[in-house]
């Protein structure tokens, strides 16, 4: 069945791979949104002919407007974060795929859900910062929340049998361990941006690549899994699987474990979120089982990788604590990517933020954004 999608964050790693999937299956694109890469957006407009395009950055918007001036079949252009939210809510697509990076994706996730659209979610920060707002909105609006994150897609795929899913007892959330697996705090001290950007198994955007090196990504994913699958933190075990072949597993009441495996390629989980509950052929190569001579398993080192410990503390505190951890991390990673702080400072700042308050209780969307601002201010004051 042909589908129409709106794609938020189209110029990024997930965004461009999502368009590979659309190209492969002849899916139409209703809307595209990105922050600022005009060259990439132009290519995408020429190939997919979206009706609407949102550019968040004002200078990039003007540049794109200039490039498209006078073209007869040019899309309608809109600018800014409000336009991102507006596009997310527009009728036209069968599903909205949110591949924006950071808390910048939260309002668009909520707008998608509140307008009654299914949401394919790569933007894990939506669930980390506003988990109860997002999951409540999904229930109230009766829409589907389809995970794109590979581990969460794996868990979702393992839970398609509704009878067994009722007896879900535990999640085994796999982690690659990142480029610094096995290193001590002393060895991590001098690690640079270039070292951290060299991920062994996945080619991703800069922010999530740093998050993979600090294990913040696994902390964010633990929180994401808790919201998506309704299990407490102590029922989600993080397992390092160095080769990124086992994408995660679930354990049922009878202690039977079901896992999802495949070569590490995001086009499988992206496609499953778009075609669910169907499966379609994929350009991703098949996994050669006879070549799997080694599947190594290890535990994650929270003592050394403090971001993971901080995320666990945050989820146990509840309320806005995960949002605070996320905000501190986004600010710290931005500084690290400008060579302004060291690698270990990221964990120090995230943990310091989480330890600084109790963060308890219910929250509104305004509270989430206020907490995010406070976390960013904390980082500025403590770098």
Provide the annotated binding site for 1-deoxy-D-xylulose 5-phosphate. Answer: 124, 150-151, 176, 199, 212, 217-218, 221
HSE of 72, CA atoms in CB hemisphere, 13 A = 0
Minimum distance between the CB of residue 341 and ligand NAD, rounded to whole angstroms? Answer: 20
Residue placing its CB nearer to Mg ion in the complex, 64 or 220? 220
Minimum distance between the CB of residue 105 and ligand NAD, rounded to whole angstroms? Answer: 7
| Interface pick for Mg ion out of 107, 118, 125, 149 (rule CB under 5 A) | 149
Minimum distance between the CB of residue 238 and ligand NAD, rounded to whole angstroms? Answer: 16
Binding residue positions for Mn(2+): 149, 151, 221
Residue pair 35/11 in contact by the 8 Å Cβ criterion: yes
DSSP symbol at 134: H
Residue placing its CB nearer to ligand NAD in the complex, 166 or 373? 373
Residue placing its CB nearer to ligand NAD in the complex, 123 or 174? 123
The residue ranges that bind ligand NAD (CB under 6 A) are 9-15, 34-35, 56, 84, 99-101, 104, 122-125, 149, 202, 204-205, 207-208, 266
Cis peptide before 277 (omega within 30 of 0): yes
Q: How far is CA 288 from CA 196, 261, 294, 302, in A?
A: 29, 11, 12, 33
Residue placing its CB nearer to ligand NAD in the complex, 204 or 309? 204
Residue placing its CB nearer to ligand NAD in the complex, 40 or 382? 40
HSE of 234, CA atoms in CB hemisphere, 13 A = 1
Q: How far is CA 198 from CA 127, 204, 230, 240, in A?
A: 27, 10, 33, 18
Select from Mg ion, ligand NAD, none the partner in contact with residue 11, using the beta carbon and a kind-dependent cut-off of 5 to 8 Å. ligand NAD
Minimum distance between the CB of residue 149 and ligand NAD, rounded to whole angstroms? Answer: 4
Q: 251: which strand partners?
A: 170, 257
Select from ligand NAD, Mg ion, none the partner in contact with residue 144, using the beta carbon and a kind-dependent cut-off of 5 to 8 Å. none
Classified as helix, coil or strand, 31 is strand
Binding residue positions: 11-14, 123-125, 149-151, 176, 199, 205, 212, 217-218, 221
CB-nearest residue to Mg ion: 149
Euclidean distance between CA atoms 15 and 174, whole angstroms = 23
Residue placing its CB nearer to ligand NAD in the complex, 124 or 306? 124
H or E, element range at 121:
strand 118-121
Minimum distance between the CB of residue 123 and ligand NAD, rounded to whole angstroms? Answer: 4
Verify binding: residue 265, Mg ion, rule CB under 5 A: no
Q: 32: which strand partners?
A: 7, 53
Select from Mg ion, ligand NAD, none the partner in contact with residue 10, using the beta carbon and a kind-dependent cut-off of 5 to 8 Å. ligand NAD
Minimum distance between the CB of residue 122 and ligand NAD, rounded to whole angstroms? Answer: 3
DSSP codes, 65-114: HHHHTT-TTPPEEEESHHHHHHHHH-SS-SEEEE---SGGGHHHHHHHHH
Residue placing its CB nearer to ligand NAD in the complex, 10 or 251? 10
Q: How far is CA 133 from CA 107, 197, 244, 249, in A?
A: 10, 33, 31, 27
Verify binding: residue 211, Mg ion, rule CB under 5 A: no
Token pair of 181, please?
């697996």
Euclidean distance between CA atoms 330 and 19, whole angstroms = 26
Residues that bind Mg ion (CB under 5 A): 149-151
């Amino acid at each position: 069945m042909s589908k129409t999608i709106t794609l938020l964050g189209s110029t990024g790693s997930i965004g461009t791979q999502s368009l590979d999937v659309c190209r492969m299956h002849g899916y139409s694109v209703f809307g595209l949104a990105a922050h600022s890469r005009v060259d990439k957006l132009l290519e995408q407009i020429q190939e997919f002919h979206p009706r609407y395009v949102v550019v968040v950055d004002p200078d990039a918007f003007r540049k794109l407007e200039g490039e498209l001036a006078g073209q007869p079949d040019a899309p309608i252009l809109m600018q800014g974060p409000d336009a991102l939210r507006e596009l997310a809510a527009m009728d036209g697509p069968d599903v909205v795929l949110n591949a924006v990076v950071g808390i910048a994706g939260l309002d668009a996730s909520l707008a998608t859900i509140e307008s009654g659209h299914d949401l394919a979610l790569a933007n894990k920060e939506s669930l980390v910062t506003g988990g109860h707002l997002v999951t409540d909105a999904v229930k109230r609006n009766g829409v589907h929340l389809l995970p794109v994150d590979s581990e969460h897609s794996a868990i979702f795929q393992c839970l398609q049998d509704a009878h067994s899913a009722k007896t879900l007892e535990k999640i085994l959330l796999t982690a690659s361990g990142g480029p610094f697996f096995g290193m001590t705090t002393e060895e991590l001290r001098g690690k640079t941006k270039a070292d951290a950007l060299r991920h062994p198994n996945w080619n991703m955007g800069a922010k999530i690549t740093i998050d993979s090196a600090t294990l913040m990504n696994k902390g964010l994913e633990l929180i994401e899994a808790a919201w998506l699958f309704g299990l407490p933190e102590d029922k989600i075990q993080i397992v390092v699987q160095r080769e990124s072949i086992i994408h995660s597993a679930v354990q049922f009441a009878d202690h039977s474990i079901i896992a999802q495996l495949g070569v590490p390629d995001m086009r499988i989980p992206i496609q499953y979120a778009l075609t669910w509950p169907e499966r379609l052929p994929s350009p991703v190569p098949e996994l050669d089982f006879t070549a799997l001579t080694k599947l190594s398993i290890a535990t994650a080192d929270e003592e050394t990788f403090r971001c993971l410990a901080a995320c666990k503390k945050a989820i146990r505190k509840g309320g806005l604590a995960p949002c605070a951890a996320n905000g501190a991390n986004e600010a710290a990673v931005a500084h690290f990517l400008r060579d302004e702080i060291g690698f270990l400072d990221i964990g120090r700042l995230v943990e310091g933020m989480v330890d600084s308050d109790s963060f308890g209780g219910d929250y509104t969307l305004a509270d989430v954004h206020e907490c995010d601002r406070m976390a960013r201010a904390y980082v500025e004051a403590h770098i």
